[in-house]
């Protein structure tokens, strides 16, 4: 079993910055891909940023140049640095981790509990 704990959300003015963190713990054998998703009011949950085990990153078009995803493999933690935030970024942000865990080492997707990000003046 793998548990993900998110932190760093909150209220910020347009143009401000926040950094989200997501730490994985439990019976982890290996953490593979990691990513951040978000779900705004009345919207589906969409991928925001993704980072592979090799460090390759991908971003949703609307956040390119503003958001940066990174990971600390020693801490099993993924971060999302969000700069120049816009009201349209308001959403619940969820981290996602693909990890091998348990005695058999099967790979599963695990989800964080979500953290609210509100961008408003």
pLDDT tens per residue, the chain (121 residues)? 899 999 999 999 999 999 999 999 999 999 999 999 999 988 999 999 999 999 999 999 999 999 999 999 999 999 999 999 999 999 999 999 999 998 899 999 999 999 999 999 9
**Could you give the angle at the alpha carbon of 77 between the alpha carbons of 115 and 65, nearest 5°?**
70
Neighbours of 9 (CB within 10 A): 19
pLDDT in tens, 84-94: 999 999 999 99
Beta bridge partner(s), residue 11: 118
pLDDT of residue 83: 98
pLDDT of residue 120: 96
């Amino acid at each position: 079993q793998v548990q993900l704990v998110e932190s760093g959300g909150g209220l910020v003015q347009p143009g401000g910055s926040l950094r989200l963190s997501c730490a994985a713990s439990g019976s982890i054998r290996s953490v593979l891909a990691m990513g951040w998703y978000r779900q705004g009011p009345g919207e589906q949950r969409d991928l925001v940023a993704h980072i592979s085990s090799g460090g390759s990153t991908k971003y949703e078009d609307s956040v390119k140049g503003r958001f940066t995803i990174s990971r600390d493999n020693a801490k099993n933690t993924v971060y999302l640095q969000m700069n120049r935030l816009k009201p349209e970024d308001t959403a619940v942000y969820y981290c996602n981790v693909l990890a091998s865990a348990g005695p058999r080492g099967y790979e599963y997707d695990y989800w964080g509990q979500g953290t609210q990000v509100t961008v408003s003046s």
